[in-house]
């Protein structure tokens, strides 16, 4: 299998395999290694492209970016690896948030999307369905991480410990030494409006449909969901899109790799043949 590496505006981009291009975006507090199993399942027929989100490569200085800058950087990678043809995006966690926004802004550059465990979190249907307990749970861990980001500039050691503690608490399998406070800036964007905040992004439930089909995965074994039932029903009734619920938590590609990777491969192959 061919493996190539290029630098795109300071992002180390790895390309494996040949065929239609699939670009992977991870989330917090992960790295491109999150997708090892999925890349292995796809790279015989697809060109799999991975890179660490800005600021998530702990071997480099912190690099928080705005939503606009993130979309620009994703676009720079897409243009570098597939200048002529649109790409498929495979997304998880904050990778979903940023990847969905890139797709909304540049629909001609995205042919399909696989979204894992983050859905229409900015829709009225989702927000109104959350219970008070769920809202408090979400606010609690996110504010913890946002505060750890704030502390990082003065007490990086403490900020790292706080970040790693929360990662363990919510069941993250990433090696603690690979987790750092500088990964937390999306939560500072969410709660403190840092780096321009998150206002003005597209409504996820308005992005996907016949023009950009989506395969959406969610884990059933979680204290709360990141999608609305209404959105699932809409996707199930949208030609070309599909929904898969797995008996897993948030990191379902690691907890149920055979089911996840098999379903992704089948859906992409069916779309390619169609």
Cα 57 to Cα 85, 140, 225, 269, distances in angstroms: 28, 26, 28, 32
Q: For residue 42, what pLDDT is reported?
A: 97
CA 188 to the chain's CA centroid: 17
Q: Measure the CA–CA gap between 115 and 99, rounded to whole angstroms.
A: 9
Burial class (CB in 10 A: 0-12, 13-18, 19+), 60: middle
Q: Measure the CA–CA gap between 103 and 113, rounded to whole angstroms.
A: 9
Is the distance from CB of 11 to CB of 73 less than 8 angstroms?
yes
- C-alpha distance across the termini of the chain, in Å: 26
* Per-residue model confidence as pLDDT tens digits over 38-72: 999 999 999 999 999 999 999 999 999 999 999 99
Q: Measure the CA–CA gap between 151 and 126, rounded to whole angstroms.
A: 31
Q: Does the model's pTM come out above 0.85?
A: yes
Q: For residue 273, what pLDDT is reported?
A: 61
- 10 Å Cβ neighbour count for 108? 8
Given a cut of 70, the residues of the chain with pLDDT beneath it are: 1, 273-274
Q: Measure the CA–CA gap between 263 and 231, rounded to whole angstroms.
A: 20
The candidate with the shortest Cα–Cα distance to 23, out of 192, 268, 270, 273, is 268
Cα 233 to Cα 119, 161, 229, 236, 249, distances in angstroms: 12, 40, 6, 5, 21
Q: For residue 192, what pLDDT is reported?
A: 97
Is the distance from CB of 217 to CB of 117 less than 8 angstroms?
yes
């Amino acid at each position: 299998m061919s493996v190539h590496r290029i630098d795109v505006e300071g992002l180390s981009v790895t390309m494996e395999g040949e065929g239609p291009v699939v670009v992977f975006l991870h989330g917090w507090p992960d790295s491109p290694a999150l997708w090892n199993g999925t890349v292995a399942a796809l790279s015989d027929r697809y060109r799999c492209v991975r890179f660490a989100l800005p600021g998530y490569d702990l071997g480099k200085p912190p690099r928080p970016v705005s939503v606009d800058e993130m979309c620009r950087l994703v676009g720079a990678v897409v243009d570098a690896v597939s200048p002529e043809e649109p790409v498929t995006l495979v997304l998880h966690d904050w990778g979903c948030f940023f990847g969905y926004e890139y797709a909304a802004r540049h629909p001609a550059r995205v042919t399909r999307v696989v979204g894992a465990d983050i859905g229409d979190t900015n829709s009225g249907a989702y927000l109104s369905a959350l219970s008070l307990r769920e809202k408090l749970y979400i606010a609690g861990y996110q504010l913890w991480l946002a505060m750890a980001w704030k502390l990082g500039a003065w007490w990086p050691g403490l900020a790292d410990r706080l970040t790693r503690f929360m990662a363990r608490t919510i069941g993250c399998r990433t090696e603690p030494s690979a987790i750092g406070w500088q990964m937390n800036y999306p939560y500072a964007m969410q709660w403190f409006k840092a780096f321009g905040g998150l206002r003005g992004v597209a409504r996820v439930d308005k992005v996907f449909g016949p023009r950009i089909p989506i395969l959406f995965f969610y884990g059933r074994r979680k204290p709360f969901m990141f999608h609305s039932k209404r959105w699932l029903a809409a996707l199930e009734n949208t030609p070309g899109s599909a929904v898969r619920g797995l008996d897993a938590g948030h990191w379902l590609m690691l907890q149920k790799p055979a089911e996840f990777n098999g379903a992704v491969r089948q859906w992409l192959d069916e779309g390619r043949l169609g």
